[in-house]
Amino acid sequence: MKNVLVISHMYPSPFKSVLGIFVHKQVQKLIGEGCNVKVVCPVPYVPAFLGVIKKYKAYLQIPDKAVLDGVEVFYPRYFEFPRGIFLQNSGFFMYLGIRRIVGRLHRNFKFNVIHAHTAIPVGFASMLLDKKYRVPLVVTIHGQDFQYTIKKNAMCRKNVFRVLKYADKIITVSNKLRNVIREKYLLDKTVVINNGINPEEYVIDEQIELEGQYVMLSVSALIKTKGIDLNIRALSKLVKKYPDIRYYIIGAGEESKNLKRLAFELNLSENVIFLGELPHSEVIKYMSSKCDVFSLPSWQEGFGIVYIEAMNSGIPVVGIKGQGIEDVIKDRKNGFLVKPHDVDDLANTIDYILSHRKEARQIGLNGENAVLREFTWLRNAQKTIDIYDEIMR
C-alpha cells in the first residue's frame, strides 16, 4: 500500500483556490489510481494586526485543516521573510513549522513516501524530516528552483543541490529543467514527467462570440517574461494585411499599464482587447471559441500548462524554442515554435497561420490529439506511481 505524504507550499485552500492547483490535480489522480495521500501545505505566519492589509488577510483566513475534493490538507504556519530575504534558510524555518503536524500525522498515517514540490524551501524541510522517518523522498522541480533560486546567491544554489543529492528520485516537469543538471549522479536519478490537464474539465456547452475576422488569444500573468509586448509588436506588422484582426489578452499584472500604452502608441487600441483576470471556467470558454491562434512568446517557462490547455481546444499554438513546451510542441506538426525575442519570426509565423487556415487547423487538431494521448494528469499520475514503486522496492 502506497501511503504518500505530499508537502507543497503551493496548494489550494478555501481562500486561495487557484494556488498550486496543478499539485492538487496530480494528488486527485494519485488517489484515483490507488494511493493514500495526505497533504501538508505550509503557510507563512502572519500576525493578526496585519490582517487589515489585503495581501496578508488571505493568509489569516486559511484554516488549520480542510478537505478539498476529498483530499485532506493541513496548513501549519512557518516563519517566512518578505522579498526572498533569507531564502537560503527558508527550508529550515519551514521544517520548524511543520515537524509537529507531520509527527502527529505519522501516528495514524504511516507514510512510506514523502513527495516534496520544490527543492527550496519544501525539499529542504522534507530532507530534515526524512532524517527521522527514513522513507524514500521524491522532489519535483517545477521551475522556480532552477530559474530563480539557484541564481539568488551561492548558499541558495548549494542548498538546492544538497536536497537533490539527498533525494531518492528527482522529477522535473520538462527536459529544459532536467538539462540544468550537469552532474551524472543526479541525472541518473532524474526523470521528466510533464504536467497535464484533465480533458473532461474542458467540455463546455457554450462559446463566447468574439469580434474580428481573425482572432488571437493569450492567457498569462502580465509580466515582462511572458512576451505579451512581442505579440503586440508583431500585430503592428500584421494589421495592414489583416485590418479586422482582434487580439484578446486575458490576465493581469504589473505590465498591464505599459502594454495598454504600447497598444495605444502603435494605433492598435481597436485591435487589442484587455479582458483582465478571468475565472478559469471563462478562460476555457474563450479557448473553445473561434480563435485562430494562441500565442505566448514567453522566454522563461519551466513547462506552461496554459499551452496544452489551448492545444486541447484545437487552437494552433505558438511557443518559444528552448523552453519547456518543446517537450510537447513539434514545430509545424502539432504547433509552432519561434525564436525568443524575435518579433519578425513571431509575425511571420502568425501570418502563416492566418493565411493557411486549413493547414493550421490540422496542426491544431494534431496538437489536441498529442495532449489527449500523453499530457493528462492521469498519465502524469501513472508515471509518478511508477517512480514510487521503483524507490519503494
Query: Do 52 and 111 have their domain in common?
Result: yes
pLDDT at residue number 300: 87
pLDDT at residue number 207: 77
Could you read off the pLDDT of 61-70 as tens digits, one per residue?
A: 899 999 999 9
In the predicted model, is pLDDT for residue 18 greater than 80? no
Query: Do 370 and 380 have their domain in common?
Result: no
Domain count, the chain: 2
Query: Do 53 and 187 have their domain in common?
Result: yes
Query: Do 273 and 226 have their domain in common?
Result: yes
Residue 340: pLDDT band (50, 70, 90) is very high
In the predicted model, is pLDDT for residue 295 greater than 90? yes
SS (HEC) of the chain:
CCEEEEECCCCCECCECCCCHHHHHHHHHHHHCCCEEEEECCEECCCHHHHHCHHHHHHHHCCCEEEECCEEEECCEECCCHHHCCHHHHHHHHHHHHHHHHHHHHHHCCCCEEEEECHHHHHHHHHHHHHHHCCCEEEEECCHHHHHHHHHCHHHHHHHHHHHHHCCEEEECCHHHHCCCCCHHHHCCEEECCCCECHHHHCCCCCCCCCCCEEEEEECCCCHHHCHHHHHHHHHHHCCCCCCEEEEEECCCCCHHHHHHHHHHCCCCCCEEEEECCCHHHHHHHHCCCCCEEECCCCCCCCCHHHHHHHHCCCCEEEECCCHHHHCCCECCCEEEECCCCHHHHHHHHHHHHHCHHHHHHHHHHHHHHHHHHCEHHHHHHHHHHHHHHHHC
* Mean pLDDT of all residues in 87-108: 97
pLDDT at residue number 71: 97
Query: Do 192 and 216 have their domain in common?
Result: no
Residue 305: pLDDT band (50, 70, 90) is very high
Query: Do 48 and 66 have their domain in common?
Result: yes
pTM of the model: 0.90
Query: Do 27 and 161 have their domain in common?
Result: yes
Which residues span the domain enclosing 121? Answer: 3-196+376-392
pLDDT at residue number 28: 97
In the predicted model, is pLDDT for residue 231 greater than 90? yes
Output the average pLDDT for the chain.
94
pLDDT at residue number 347: 98
In the predicted model, is pLDDT for residue 88 greater than 90? yes
35: domain CATH number is 3.40.50.2000
Q: Percent of the chain beyond pLDDT 70?
A: 100
In the predicted model, is pLDDT for residue 355 greater than 80? yes
In the predicted model, is pLDDT for residue 55 greater than 80? no
Query: Do 190 and 222 have their domain in common?
Result: no
In the predicted model, is pLDDT for residue 233 greater than 90? yes
Query: Do 141 and 281 have their domain in common?
Result: no
pLDDT at residue number 114: 98
